[in-house]
Amino acid sequence: MKHFRKSYIITAVLLVLALVLGACTKPAPTKPVEPLATEEPKVQEPVKEDPVVGDIDCTGVKEGDAVSMLYQWSGEEEAKLTAILTPWMEACKTTVNPESSRDQALLDTRVQAGTPPDIAFWNVPQLTQYKDKLVPMDTLGANKANYAGYWGDIGTIDGKWLGLPVKADPKTLVWYSPAAFTAAGYTVPTTWAELDALVEKMAADGNVAWSLGMESGDATGWTGTDFIQDILLVTKGPDFVSSIIAGDIPYNDPAVKEAYEIYGKWAMDAKYTVAGAEGTLSTGFNDAILKVFSDTPEAFMVKQSGFASGTLLGTYPDKVYGKDYDFFGVPGAQGLQGGSDWLMVFNDTPAVRSLVKYLSSNKGGETWATIGFDLTPNAAGNAFYATEEMMKKAELLSSATGFTPDIGDSIPGGFGSAEFKGITDYVNGGDLDAILDSIAAAQADAMNQ
Amino acid sequence: MAKPTVAPVMRQGKFVPWLYLLPAIIVMSIFILYPMINTVNLSFQNASGTASAETTCREGQACWGAFENYRYALTNELNTSSAKAFWNSFWVSSYGNMVKWLVGMVSGTVIIGLLFAVWVDGIKSEALAKSIIFMPMAISFVGAGVIWKFVYNYGTSQVQTGILNAIISAFGGDPVAFLSKVPLNTFMLIIVGTWMWTGFCMTLLSAAIKSIPEEIIEASRIDGATDYKIFTKIQVPIIMPTIIVVITTMVINVLKLFDIVYVMTGGNYGTNVLATRMYTEMYANSQYGRGTAIAVILILFIVPFIIMNIRRFIKEEAMR
C-alpha cells in the first residue's frame, strides 16, 4: 500500500510538471520584441528642404515621430512587416511602437477605452465594427489608383473609404501536375464549362479527376466549404457571397443547394474523386494534396489554398514549379476568396498620413512584393514578386473582379462548425435540405446576436 | 446505534467540528462549489454571459424563455419533421450515441472483465495474462485514440496502412472506412473504450472472486456443481455488490467520455457525445451559454449514479 501511495504521488508530481511545462510553451507573448522602436535617437540632422525623400512622402513628419500599431502577425510574418516598413522609417526618421496579438478583445478594449493604437492591421469585419472611430483614407491621402475597384468597395462603409487592404492570400486555386496533364493530353480549363467537360473526360478515360479529402480533426469539412464558396463565386459571384455573410441571403437559398449538389456529384463518387464519399471523408487534407503529386498519382487535381505548394515540397522536395506542379484559378470564378488584412487608422497624425501614403504608393507596393509577405493588393507590386509562383498568384489577384473572406470565418457563433458538420453529413449521405436548414438556423442565430 | 457516552471535557460544541472542516470547505467552495454555481448561472445566459438566454430567441422559432440554451442543447440535433426523421436523427445525436456507448461499453467491459477474471483465476500464468489485459489502462486516452486511428486507417491507394483494412484486403475484401461509416463508426469507437477499460473491471472483479472463501466453492463441488453452476449460482451472487460498483463506475466513466471521440473523429460523422458537443460549443463556437447548458445536463445524468455509488460505499463502511 505504501508503495502504491508513493507511485500516486510521483504520478501527481509528474502531471503537475507536465501542466507547468505545457503552460510554458504557450504561443508567443503578446508583447514582442520591438526591434526598431528602442533605437537610440539619431544625431540631429539638418532640416530637409524637400519633404519627399526618394519616393517616400514625409510631409509634416518630425524626426522621431512614432506610430503605434496593433496587428496579429508574429515571428517570421512580423519580421516581414518590419522589413516592409523599414524604408519608410529610414526615409522619414520615424519609429513604430508595434504590438502583436491575435486577441481581438485587446483591440476592442482599447477602442472602447478611447486609447486605440494609431493604426491597426485587422480584418474586414472590423471596418464596420469601428466605422465611427476610423479616419477615412481619402483624408489621409491614400492613393486609390493603385487598387482594383472591388478593394475600394469592400473597404467603403456607409460611403466612406475606411480601410486600406495591405495583404491578401487567395484560396480559389486548383493545383495540378503539368507533366501529368501533358502526358494524358489534358489542357488547363479556362471556363467552368471546360472544367466540367475536363472532369467528365477524365472520368470517361478511367482517370480520377479530384482529390477532395477533407479530414481535419474537429475542423473536418473546411476544404469542402471552401469549394462550395468557390462554386458560388462561379455561379453567383462575390456580391452573393457577401450577402450570405451579411445575413441578407439565407444559407438554404436554392443557389447554395445547387452548389452543394455540384460539389456532391464529384465528392461522393469514386468515378470523380479518390475513393468516393469514403475517401473524401477519411482522407486528411494534406494527404489529399500529396495524392496528386505522388509517384503513382491517384488524381489529377486538388483544390486548395496557396499552402499546397509548401505541403507537397515538404514531402517531395525535388518537385519543380511549372513542371511537376502548378495551379490555375478556379475557372469561371467571378472574384476570389481568401484572407485579407486591412490597415485602419484611429488617429490622424502626419506620421500616420505619411505611412498610409507610403503603403499605397508605387514604392510601397514594390517593397511589399519584393519582401513577399503573401500578396499585396497594391497593383504597383505586381511586377516585383520573387518567384514565378507568386507572380502568377498576383496576376490572378489583379485580374480578379472581387474578393470575399471565408463565409465560415466571417459569421460568428456556431456557424462555422455548423457549416463543417453540414458538409460532412451531406457527403456521408445526409438529407441536403435538412442540413442546409440547420446551417441557415446557425446563420440566423448569429445575425440575432 | 446507541449514542456513545463521552466525558464532558471531551464534548465538542456545535462550532468546533466546523473548524475542523473549514480547510476542506474552503477548498471545495473555490474549486467545486463556485464553478458549479457559475456554470448553472451561465447556462441561463447568452453566448457571452451578458444577457438572459431569452434574448437569443428568434421570432417565429420555438423558445423556452430563460431555458433557451436547454432547448438548444436538448432538441437542436433532432429532426422533428416526422417520426422516422426523429428516430434517425436521434441515433446519430449525442444522446443516441450516449445510449450506444452506455450499452456497448459498460456491458462489454463488465462482461469481458468478469469472464476473464473467472477464466484466469488460479491458472499458472495468471499474473501475466492479467497484466496484458490491464496494460491498455497505462496508455493515455489520446495515445490510445491515435493508435486505434492507425488500426482503423482507411487508405485510398492499393496499399492499406491500417492493419484492419490490410487484413481485409489481403483476404480480397474491400477496405472499409471504419471511422466515417454510420452507424459502424460509433461501435468501432466503443471497441477502443472497451479495450482500455476491461482491465480495470477485471482487476476489481478478480479481487472480489479471490475473496470468496474456498470452502464454499469446495462444498458446492462436493455437492456436484459444474463450473458453470458455480459461476452463475455461487460466484456471481456473492460478488454482486462489487459488480454493481463496477457498473456504476463505468457508467460515470462513459458519460464523461470525451478523449476517444475527440481524437478519432472529432465528433464528426454522427459520433458526437455530450462531452465533445460541450467542448465544441464552448471553445469552437464561443457559445458559453449553450456549452454550460450541456454541461449541466451532463451533470444531471451523472448525479444519480454518483449517489448510488456513495450509498453503497457508506453501506459497506457500516458493515466493517
pLDDT at A252 over 60: yes
pLDDT band at A26 (very low <50, low <70, confident <90, very high): very low
What pLDDT digit, counting tens, does each position of A292-313 carry? 999 889 999 999 998 899 899 9
8 Å CB contact of A296 and B156: no
CB A171 within 8 A of CB A337: yes
Q: Is the dihedral of CA A245, A421, B279, B68 positive or negative?
A: positive
DSSP alpha helix (H) spans, chain B? 16-28, 34-42, 68-75, 83-91, 94-101, 107-120, 126-134, 141-151, 163-170, 184-210, 214-222, 227-229, 236-255, 259-264, 274-279, 288-319
* pLDDT (0 to 100) of residue B320: 66
* pLDDT (0 to 100) of residue A200: 96
Between the alpha carbon of residue A214 and those of residues A285, A292, B153, the distances in Å are 5, 14, 15
Smallest Cα distance from B185 to chain A, Å: 12
Least confident of A49-63, A199-213, A381-395, B294-308: A49-63
Identify whether B312 is part of a domain: no
Mean pLDDT of A222-236: 95
Mean pLDDT of A162-185: 94
Among the partner residues B47, B56, B266, nearest to A220 by beta-carbon distance? B266
> Does the domain formed by A54-169+339-398 have CATH 3.40.190.10?
yes
Query: Can you give the residue ranges of every domain in chain A?
Result: 54-169+339-398, 173-334+411-448
Give the mean pLDDT of chain A. Answer: 87
Identify whether B300 is part of a domain: no
* pLDDT (0 to 100) of residue A17: 54
Domain count, chain B: 1
Question: Exposed/middle/buried for B244, CB within 10 Å: 0-12, 13-18, 19+?
Answer: middle
Q: Does residue A425 belong to the interface with chain B, where contact is any CB pair within 8 Å?
A: yes
Closest CA to A219 of A416, A436, A441, A439: A416
pLDDT band at A436 (very low <50, low <70, confident <90, very high): very high
Give the HSE-up count for residue B131: Cα atoms under 13 Å, Cβ half-sphere. 4
pLDDT at B160 over 50: yes
* pLDDT (0 to 100) of residue A154: 87
What pLDDT digit, counting tens, does each position of B87-123 carry? 988 998 999 999 999 999 999 999 999 999 988 887 8
Q: Does residue A281 belong to the interface with chain B, where contact is any CB pair within 8 Å?
A: yes
CB A370 within 8 A of CB A390: no
**What is the SS3 assignment for B272?**
coil
pLDDT band at A46 (very low <50, low <70, confident <90, very high): very low
* Residue of chain A nearest B269, judged by CA positions: A425
* pLDDT (0 to 100) of residue A29: 40
Mean pLDDT of A64-93: 92
Higher pLDDT: A373 or A52? It is A373
pLDDT at A272 over 90: yes
pLDDT band at B205 (very low <50, low <70, confident <90, very high): very high
* pLDDT (0 to 100) of residue A35: 44
Percentage of residues of chain B with pLDDT beyond 90: 56
Higher pLDDT: A22 or A5? It is A5
**What is the SS3 assignment for A161?**
strand
pLDDT at A5 over 90: no
Cell of A363: 514604392
Which CATH number goes with the domain that contains B190?
1.10.3720.10
Beta strands at A66-71 and A95-100: parallel, antiparallel or unpaired: parallel
Mean pLDDT of B246-268: 92
Give first-to-last CA distance, chain B, whole Å.
14
Q: Using a CB-CB distance cutoff of 8 angstroms, which residues of chain B are in contact with residue A112? A: none
> What is the span of the domain harbouring residue B116?
95-277
* pLDDT (0 to 100) of residue A2: 46
CATH of A173-334+411-448, one of 3.40.190.10, 3.30.450.20, 3.40.50.300, 3.90.340.10: 3.40.190.10
Mean pLDDT of B193-208: 94
Mean pLDDT of B187-212: 93
Give the HSE-up count for residue A83: Cα atoms under 13 Å, Cβ half-sphere. 14
Identify whether B197 is part of a domain: yes
DSSP alpha helix (H) spans, A25-129? 75-92, 104-113, 124-129
Q: Which amino acid appears at position B38 of this protein?
A: N
Smallest Cα distance from A282 to chain B, Å: 7
DSSP alpha helix (H) spans, A268-298? 276-282, 285-293
Cell of B122: 488460479
* pLDDT (0 to 100) of residue B15: 85
8 Å CB contact of A218 and B266: yes
Identify whether B40 is part of a domain: no
CB A317 within 8 A of CB A180: no
| Complex ipTM value | 0.84
Q: Using a CB-CB distance cutoff of 8 angstroms, which residues of chain A are in contact with residue B269? A: 281, 424-425, 428
pLDDT at A20 over 70: no
* pLDDT (0 to 100) of residue A42: 44
* pLDDT (0 to 100) of residue A56: 87
pLDDT at B3 over 70: no
* pLDDT (0 to 100) of residue A6: 58
* pLDDT (0 to 100) of residue A203: 95
Q: Using a CB-CB distance cutoff of 8 angstroms, which residues of chain A are in contact with residue B179? A: 282
